[in-house]
Amino acid sequence: MADESNAGPVAAAVATDTEVKAPTAKKQRSPRPQKAASEPAQAKTPAAKRRGYSDEEKSERLKLIATQVSEGNTLKDAIKSAGISEQTYYHWKGAAKPVEQKGTKSTKPLPAGDELADLVQLEEENQRLRKRLAEKLRAENAELRKRLGLD
């Protein structure tokens, strides 16, 4: 076991170090300059502005990506070579879809009355198409029986 009485000179040195370090006053910082309230919000430099793409540039890049993918490149590589992010690509691609395609598949739920009306309309169309198919099959069947002489 170590003798605890042997730690005398070390304890004295630690005590003198704490006495030497007297508390110093904190440095005072100068106050921040006030921002001018009348300064316009568009004080950014032109280099800091975000660059937007025109519709022609968007369509050109989408076509470039499509041709690269058809040539066998991966979609990620084609998007990277076009110089845009994947999120931007999918955003542009979704915006480029024709309006009538967007209208056919709506993500918001329809009111119950509209759903019921659509269902009734689809069932009527289904019934009409089944009747046309049955008439066509009967006509083909009759024609085949005549050719085979089974009638």
Give the model confidence (pLDDT) of 41-85 as tens digits.
554 444 555 578 888 899 899 999 999 999 988 999 999 999 999
Residue identified by tokens 């046309």 is 132
The dihedral over CA atoms of 50, 54, 59, 60, expressed in degrees to the nearest 10, equals -80
Q: Which tens digit of pLDDT belongs to each residue from 19-31?
A: 556 667 778 888 8
For 106-123, what is each residue's pLDDT tens digit?
A: 556 656 778 888 899 999
Q: How confident is the model at residue 7 (pLDDT cuts 50, 70, 90)?
A: low
Asked if residue 65 lies in contact with residue 44, where contact means CB atoms within 8 angstroms, the answer is no
d(CA 136, CA 134): 5
Whether the predicted pLDDT of 105 surpasses 70: no
* Angle in degrees, CA 68, 52, 85, rounded to 5: 40
Name every residue whose Cβ is closer than 8 Å to that of residue 96 and which is 6 or more positions away in sequence.
58, 59, 62
Q: Are 94 and 62 in contact (CB under 8 A)?
A: no
pLDDT at 1 over 80: no
Per-domain boundaries in the chain: 52-106, 109-151
Write the CB contacts of 21 (distance below 8 Å, at least 6 apart in sequence). none
The per-residue pLDDT for 100 is: 46
User: Does 101 score more than 70 pLDDT?
Assistant: no
pLDDT band at 32; cut points 50, 70, 90: confident
